[in-house]
Structure 1
């Protein structure tokens, strides 16, 4: 497989195919791990993070392997290597890979790749282009243009911002949206610093053979895993206060109904006692008087209710019925939850496909 074919395969794996892989396979598996009751809460979070990290590492490793070694790795030199060091490494490899001494069937291709790497790294101008834009930049004779760079960055980050917004719609994704956009902003800042720096901003002791182009590609490759991890963990850690309040109000409503039934039974018992002569003979010591007392009605006005056992029970019933009506109204207002629209989800997929083919 040629280097161009490897690059195309890697781009496809990290682009549209990787997007669908994370949305339709990784996210459901993560949701299954984080399902309430599956594991303990802390273990669920640890398992989900470990799964996402391992998957992202494997996927990124496969993409790097498909792209093949860069020119520094091919010549076994570093970004800080001098032209003399590069020349020595080239001569050493040239003797090993020359078609006259290399029995491999693709000896000529191997020698040509080493020669191409040598030619690029020995030319300071081409070397700078390669560091920032990779093999594609060399093939297209690309040079840094601030306008072109801003256009490409705007297309990439605006498209991903739209996708992230659509994927994190709904109440459960509030934290996930904040985390995702924070990661997107951090990645944007790092890419701008890396691509606009006159010298290589990557420390020489950290990944000595990695170029700016390699770093940007790795960040772009890891972002879908980061975004879907935020979606899964955000939904798992979300606490639905409205649902808890609704459950409390429903329980209160049922309690009010039970109290009303008990009061109704007591009222019937009192009426039976009074009907059989239990309340005759005038007022007893400590018994409620028959004077009229003001009682607040449902509309806030005062009505006169006799302070008899039956009247007090009736007063409690009126107040409980009024409270029960308010609870029922509150429950009804909380029954409608904001959910992400399926239309928005499918629109997101179609939009990503269109953007990928127009600007891929």
Structure 2
């Protein structure tokens, strides 16, 4: 493996993970801080920032990896041996050290020769499409058991990272988005590695191999995960907090109504005691009244107010109990999961490197 490939693998591994967690995510959180921009603009700026970072990082890593064999020869995946031979002959005449005075002519000629040798052999070409240059150097072949083992290691380790990184109520939606992205990525990877031909149309990406598609998915997933974390936390609505606020407001409203009703009751009692005559008092406070020769019970104003007051007190007691239950719920969010996630990723990275 060349120095550029080693640097690219390192950047897309542990260092890339810390780059997204400790640099990209705080910057995205700064953009999405409430009150900094309008809601729609904050989301657009955050998405644009994450897309730009992912594009720049991926572009730099692809530049370090260099062009693949198809791009190097100027052919496509569907090119036959005759077309590959013609392309190699044309390039060899241009890049041969005897005819090209460039100081790196020898390296370019050797790279073209290496690409020609790999693509002319149909077996080597299939290995290159599935596993890249490293697969040819290691003489690797598709083995279902080995493939499933590598697949399990990658997705289980990243699944654990996603779970620990999205602990807490604010990250519930982000966790769902991340796991959905992982399922889509798994389906694409299995399709790429198990199909006999590349399912991507030649007219769309004529020189893109299955190995490069999988590499791009793995490389872009940390950006996708941190984007989900940032946007999920920003869009999160705490229903419990809203319910708590509503219940507290209702409790205060009931208290105010009780005070008002008590004032009304005192006023009515004052009027009854000082402002009414005997006949008026009897008409207002009497429990029965003659109507059609019969006795009809009549509730007094004071009794009605007393009944309403009792109902409001009962309702206020229930609301107070609900508020007490909500306030007594423990806060499940914790930073411990964040540190466990970092420790777990380091252990997995060094165990399976």
Q: How many residues align?
A: 343
Structure 2 residue aligned with 1:87, among 85, 88, 94? Answer: 85
Secondary structure of residue in 1 paired with 2:281:
coil
For 2:44 and 2:67, how far apart are their aligned partners in 1? 33
Query: What pairs up with 1:254-273 in 2 under 5 angstroms?
Result: 254-272=252-270
8 Å contact 2:269–2:302 — kept in the other structure?
yes
Take 1:157 and 1:183, find their aligned partners in 2: how far apart are those partners? 11
After superposition, the C-alpha distances for 1:23-46 in whole angstroms (9 at most, x for unaligned) are: 222222223333333333333322
Matched residue, 1:109:
107
Structure 1: tracts of 5 or more residues without a match: 292-305
**Residue 156 of structure 1, CA deviation:** 0.5
After TM superposition, the structure 1 stretch with the greater mean CA deviation from structure 2, 97-106 or 265-274, is 265-274
From 230, 233, 247, the counterpart of 1:232:
230
Contact 1:171 1:338 in 2 (8 A): no
- 1:56 corresponding residue in structure 2: 54
Query: Are 1:40 and 2:69 counterparts?
Result: no
Structure 2 CA distance for partners of 1:57 and 1:307, relative to 1, 3 Å:
same
CA distance in 1, matches of 2:331, 2:221: 27
Task: Name the CA distance, whole Å, in 1 between partners of 2:278 and 2:148.
Answer: 98
Q: Which residues of structure 2 form unaligned runs of 5+?
A: 289-297
Counterpart-to-counterpart distance in 2, 1:315 and 1:182: 56
Further displaced range: 266-275 or 142-151: 266-275
TM-fit CA distance, 1:154 = 0.7
Contact 2:272 2:281 in 1 (8 A): no
- Other-structure match for 2:193: 195
| 1:356 and 2:349 matched | yes
The offset of 1:9, in angstroms, is: 1.0
- Structure 2 SS opposite 1:348: helix
Q: CA RMSD in A?
A: 2.4
Q: Displacement of 1:279 after TM fit?
A: 5.9
- Aligned counterpart, 1:299: none
Q: How does 1:1-360 map to 2 (within 5 A)?
A: 4-272=2-270, 277-278=274-275, 281=278, 284=281, 286-289=283-286, 311-335=303-327, 336=329, 338-360=331-353
Cα distance in 1 for residues equivalent to 2:127 and 2:136: 7
Q: Is the 8 A contact 2:70 2:207 kept in 1?
A: yes
Secondary structure in structure 2 of the residue aligned to 1:284:
helix
Change in CA separation of 1:288 and 1:337 when aligned onto 2, cut-off 3 Å: farther
Q: Report the alpha carbon displacement of residue 48 of structure 1 after superposing the two structures with TM.
A: 2.2
**Structure 2: how far apart are the matches of 1:310 and 1:240?**
43
Counterpart-to-counterpart distance in 2, 1:28 and 1:255: 41
Q: Distance in 1 between matches of 2:326 and 2:76?
A: 62
The Cα of 1:271 is off from its aligned counterpart by 4.9
Contact 2:88 2:116 in 1 (8 A): yes
1:323-347: CA deviation from partner (whole Å, max 9, x where unpaired): 2221122112223365432112211
Q: Kindly tell me: are residues 340 and 101 of structure 1, through their superposed partners in 2, closer, same or farther at Cα, counting changes over 3 Å?
A: farther
TM-score (norm 2): 0.88
Whether the 8 Å CA contact 1:290–1:307 is kept in 2: the answer is yes
Q: Distance in 1 between matches of 2:14 and 2:319?
A: 50
3-state SS in 2 of match to 1:159: helix
The worse-fitting range, judged by mean Cα deviation, of 315-324 and 48-57 is 315-324
Indicate conservation of the 8 Å contact 1:194/1:201, yes or no. Answer: yes
Structure 1: how far apart are the matches of 2:350 and 2:283?
Answer: 89
